[in-house]
């Protein structure tokens, strides 16, 4: 879309409602852990995404605007997400999932399909100084209980350079509207790309 502010990284100060995630960190992490511990072999819950090196697993609560059974299995996470006013909901461009990257993993450079959204990563389990996200030419690091917002229309990649003992990097990943998309534009986009 033309006319939207064009930058790789965004401050969470621009999205104060995201602070609700901090209030529910424990519950969101517990729901992830239960899902991972008890349903990892269920291919209707966890998908293994292709990587050049390592292992990347993902469990969608919302996949291209469609709510999955994982949302029912993680009710606190799902209800918290629905309270975020800028969540990109009921739209093919909107996703929400748990994303797990294991040590020794590189997710090659890729980009999202549109600039109408920003992608948010809420850090649940993050090995310190082992993992980073490269967006365009900018490098950033996840932190537990913090949200990292970026424009995934930019080329970006993920790297976990830790040893096996470092453990996995887990984020709750979801999409929000780009702040420059007007309410009338959202209505049109939701009509055109409803899920």
Residue 171, token pair as written in the block: 């984020």
**DSSP 3-state of 192:** helix
Q: What is the DSSP string of 15-78?
A: -GGGGHHHHTHHHHHHHHHHHHHHHTT-TTT-EEEP-SBS-EEEEEEEETTEE-HHHHH-HHHH
Mention every residue, 6+ apart, whose C-beta is less than 8 A from residue 28. Answer: 21, 74, 76, 77, 80, 122, 124, 172
Over 90: is that where the pLDDT of 50 sits?
no
Helix orientation angle between 75-82 and 25-39, rounded to the nearest 10 degrees: 140
Cα separation, 173 vs 148, in Å, equals 10
pLDDT at site 129: 86
Cα separation, 78 vs 69, in Å, equals 11
pLDDT band with cut points at 50, 70 and 90 for residue 128: confident
pLDDT at site 165: 85
| pLDDT mean across residues, the chain | 96
pLDDT band with cut points at 50, 70 and 90 for residue 163: confident
Residues in the chain: 195
Cα separation, 193 vs 91, in Å, equals 5
Q: What is the mean pLDDT of residues 93-104?
A: 97
Over 90: is that where the pLDDT of 164 sits?
no
Over 90: is that where the pLDDT of 81 sits?
yes
- Its pTM surpasses 0.75: yes
How large a percentage of the chain has pLDDT more than 70?
A: 100
pLDDT at site 52: 85
pLDDT band with cut points at 50, 70 and 90 for residue 73: very high
Phi and psi at residue 148, to the nearest 5°:
-110, 125
């Amino acid at each position: 879309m033309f006319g939207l502010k064009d930058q790789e990284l965004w401050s969470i100060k621009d999205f104060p409602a995201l602070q609700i995630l901090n209030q529910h960190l424990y519950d969101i992490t517990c729901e992830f852990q239960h899902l991972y511990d008890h349903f990892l072999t269920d291919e209707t819950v966890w998908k293994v995404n292709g990587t050049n090196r390592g292992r990347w697993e993902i469990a969608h609560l919302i996949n291209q605007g469609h709510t999955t059974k994982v949302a029912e299995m993680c009710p606190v996470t799902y209800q918290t997400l629905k309270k975020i006013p800028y969540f990109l909901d009921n739209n093919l461009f909107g996703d929400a999932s748990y994303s797990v990257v294991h040590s020794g993993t590189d997710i090659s450079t890729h980009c999202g399909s549109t600039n109408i959204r920003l992608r948010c990563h809420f850090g649940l389990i993050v090995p310190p100084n082992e993992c980073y996200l490269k967006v365009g030419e900018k490098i950033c690091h996840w932190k537990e209980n913090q949200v990292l917002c970026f424009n995934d229309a930019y080329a970006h990649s993920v790297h976990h350079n830790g040893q096996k003992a470092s453990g996995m990097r887990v984020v709750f990943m979801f999409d929000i509207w780009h702040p420059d998309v007007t309410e009338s534009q959202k209505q049109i986009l939701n009509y055109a790309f409803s899920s």
